[in-house]
Amino acid sequence: MRLRDEAPAKVDEETPWVERETLIEASPDEVWEALTDEDRLEEWLAPDVDLDPQEGGEIAVRDGDEERSGTVETYEEGERFAFTWSRPGEGESFVQFTIEAVPAGTRVKVVETPMAVALAGWGPRLARLERSLRFVLVA
DSSP state of 125: G
Interface positions with another protein (CB under 8 A): 14-26, 30-31, 34-35, 40, 43-45, 93, 108, 110, 112, 114, 117, 119-122, 125, 128-129, 132-134
Between 5 and 90, CB nearer to another protein: 90
Minimum CB distance to another protein, residue 117 (Å): 7
3-state DSSP assignment of residue 73: strand
Minimum CB distance to another protein, residue 113 (Å): 9
Between 6 and 44, CB nearer to another protein: 44
Between 31 and 59, CB nearer to another protein: 31
Q: How many CB atoms neighbour CB 115 within 10 A?
A: 21
CB-based contact 107:32 (threshold 8 Å): no
In 86-138, which ranges are E strands? 93-102, 105-114, 136-138
